A and B are shown apart, each in its own frame.
Chain A
Amino acid sequence: MLLRDSADPAREECMDRNVAFAQFVREQTATLVRSAYLLTGNSVAAEDLVQDTFVRLFPKWDRVQAADVPMAYVRRSMVNGFLNQRRRPSSRELVIDEVPERIDGRDIGVEVTNRDLVWRLLTTLPDRQRAALVMRFFEDLADEQIAESLGCRLGTVRSLISRGLAALREQTLRESAVNRP
């Protein structure tokens, strides 16, 4: 008889896990895709990053569920995916929403707001600095949580954030000076 026994414990366990996965995806995708957008800077790459993360974690979802904070586990995987993808040369050929303007001052008009200027400058930072800044200033994560996500020490996190902010501040002032009438 080919009919699968619906009371099969293995089958039930599998379904429970899959239902939990679907529930987590529905509840957390909004949060993750916002962070992914801030990391990647464009919609297509953000969707790919979130989808790739979940598809990669799905086979080991039991492990995710067993984590103290499943969301932290998923976030760490997503950030790693972002960093690993950016290390590959082909990742530089991602389709993006719009061609970024050159950050040389000449292409940024005086009408550009400070926030847009900072956003554009953010794209020029090294990936780990950018990820650390997004986690600190968008997700409001503590240094310990950022360290866990990046897989580095606390001191490294503080250094990434400090250097990232300094670079943003310096470049913002420089660009503003160039565009000042």
Chain B
Amino acid sequence: MSDDFDIEDVLRASLAEHARQAPQAAPLAERIIAEADHLDWVREPRGPRRWRGWMLPAVAAASVVAVVATIVGLVQLKHSGKHSTDAGAQQSGRRSSSSAPAASGSLFATSASPTETVPTVGKPGGAVPDRFRVVDLTFVGSHAWALGQGDCLDGSSGTCPAVLRSDDDGKDWKSTPTPPVPVGEGCGEAACVTHLRFADANTGYAFGPGALYTTQDGGQSWSDVSQGDTTSLEVANGTALRVTADQLQISPVGKDSWKAATLPTRATVRAPVVRALSRAYVSAADGNTVYASTDNGADWTARPSPCSPAGSLSSMTAAADGSLVVTCTTSASKTPTLMVSGNDGVSFSSVAAPSGDVVGSPVAATDSSTVFCSTPNGLLRTTDGGQDWQPVSGNKTSGVAVFLGFEGPTTGRWVSGDGSTIYTTTDGGDHWSPHTFT
């Protein structure tokens, strides 16, 4: 180094370069907010001094539940008569403001950024695009929504994102407005939608990398929540759980009021979060721990990973009865190990996976003894701990299922590998009826 170097320039460059090695801010921010939230609960006066200390958190929790229930009821009442969309705004691309969601029980329960209804693509009740291919599927009773891609309805070349809706258990489908971002895994855009989830006929979410949209009118209009990546989201029993920036967050369904879930301090998680009935499960980012909730995500318990080594936990799914199925995958084996728990992750039993290269194959279950696995050879089912896997749906399509899941002990769906066909069973998987998009 020559003696006439400029130490100030070198120092500036050095600081700028090393600042890029600083920890990620988003997870840290959520941890800080959760920590402060906890402090606030502890220190905030909750009632007369004559109350015993143990009553305070109990009363606070009851109050929060009551306030949330009241607000949810009011908001749903407000939305019950609001099903029209601002068609003019959609056609012109003009943004129309919508009211920000009401505050809920969390002390940090209001979005930092107001939600806006976004211009969408398509009209309610429109035709189904030719060559529509399903990317994701969600059913709520007889109502269903399918996210996918198909020929563009405006006649332009190529494929366009599309959301379809059915109100007769998937027999007839109509297109419905689509959030204005690309659709599908690996879309490679700054924001894209990869999944849909609905809580009821009106309230739903479209989400993916850099995207979280909500609807309160069954998908006729969408609002941009603008809260970063949402890699996994599940709704049930009034709460929504999502994984964002390695953090698990919870919000009342239909509200843009996310706060950190009450996991052990500084726990980071990875997608997916899975749910069934009141059960919810998510794994630690390092795969060494499974967090289990039995009260819709309000409280969580840490359980050790059932995999060996612990970090080989690769995915999880919740059975229709609330049991947990964990998939353990090591780089040395093409056959994963399935671990099933019927007691909220306290103990697990091993289920041998189907033979062949089934790493990454979708797995579903109706209970702790009945497990399904989609393979290139079709959908297989075992009821004897994996000793025998029998084909239950003879249709062989290219690749494994795009979607596989059960809404209850007898009703389930899977989508063929090419996304063209939705198969439905109502007898626990013995028989499957197809609906094919042409």
Contact = CB atoms under 8 A, between A and B. Distances in A.
A58 B107 CA distance: 13
Contact of A134 (B15, B39, B59, B112): B15
A38 B18 contact: yes
B437 interface: no
B62 interface: yes
Interface residues of A, number: 47
Given A15-B107, A19-B108, A138-B16, A118 B10 contact: yes
Contacts of B66: 2-4
A152 interface: no
Contact of A138 (B3, B12, B35, B40): B12
A29 B32 contact: yes
Given A6-B70, A15-B103, A30 B25 contact: yes
B242 to A, nearest CB: 16
B32 A25 contact: yes
B39 A59 contact: yes
Interface in A1-30: 2-4, 6, 14-15, 18-19, 21-23, 25-27, 29-30
A172 interface: yes
A37 B22 contact: yes
Contacts of A46: 22-23
Interface in B1-25: 1, 3, 5, 7-8, 10-19, 21-23, 25
B28 A116 contact: no
Given A115-B13, A172-B7, A33 B22 contact: yes
Nearest to B25: A30
Interface string A65-108: 00000000000000000000000000000000000000000000
Contacts of A43: 21-23
A46 B376 CA distance: 48
Contacts of B15: 38, 119, 134, 137-138
A59 B39 CA distance: 9
Contact of B1 (A15, A33, A176): A176
B21 A51 contact: no
Contacts of B59: 2
B201 interface: no
A51 B31 contact: yes
B112 A19 contact: yes
A14 to B, nearest CB: 7
A157 interface: no
B18 A54 contact: no
A159 B107 CA distance: 45
Contact of A29 (B1, B28, B107): B28
A160 interface: no
A25 B7 contact: no
A23 B44 CA distance: 20
Interface centre among B11, B16, B18, B33 (most CB of A within 10 A): B11
Contact of B112 (A2, A22, A116): A22
- Range for the number of chain B residues in contact with chain A: 35 or more
Nearest to B63: A4
Contacts, number: 141
B22 A34 contact: yes
A116 B15 CA distance: 10
B127 interface: no
B29 interface: yes
Nearest to A4: B63
B1 A173 contact: yes
Nearest to A180: B1
Contacts of A26: 26, 29, 33, 112
Given A22-B112, A54-B36, A115 B3 contact: no
Interface centre among B5, B8, B36 (most CB of A within 10 A): B36
A33 B28 contact: yes
Given A33-B22, A47-B23, A51-B32, A18 B7 contact: no
Given A15-B103, A122-B14, A138-B15, A114 B71 contact: no
A175 to B, nearest CB: 9
A137 B23 contact: no
A123 B217 CA distance: 57
B23 A172 contact: no
A130 B338 CA distance: 53
Contact of B32 (A14, A34, A50): A50
Contacts of A55: 32, 35-36, 39
A165 interface: yes
Contact of A37 (B23, B32, B35): B23
B101 to A, nearest CB: 12
A141 to B, nearest CB: 13
A23 B11 CA distance: 32
Contacts of B1: 114, 172-173, 176
B366 to A, nearest CB: 39
27 contacts: A4-B63, A6-B70, A18-B40, A18-B107, A22-B33, A25-B32, A25-B33, A26-B112, A27-B112, A29-B26, A29-B29, A38-B15, A43-B23, A46-B22, A55-B35, A58-B36, A114-B10, A115-B14, A118-B11, A119-B15, A122-B11, A122-B14, A133-B11, A165-B7, A165-B8, A169-B7, A172-B5
Given A22-B108, A37-B22, A137-B15, 4 more contacts: A3-B66, A14-B40, A25-B32, A58-B40
Interface of A: 2-4, 6, 14-15, 18-19, 21-23, 25-27, 29-30, 33-38, 43, 46-47, 50-51, 54-55, 58-59, 114-116, 118-119, 122, 133-134, 137-138, 165, 168-169, 172-173, 176
Closest 10 CB pairs of A and B: A30-B25, A37-B22, A115-B14, A176-B1, A23-B112, A138-B15, A4-B63, A29-B29, A34-B19, A169-B7
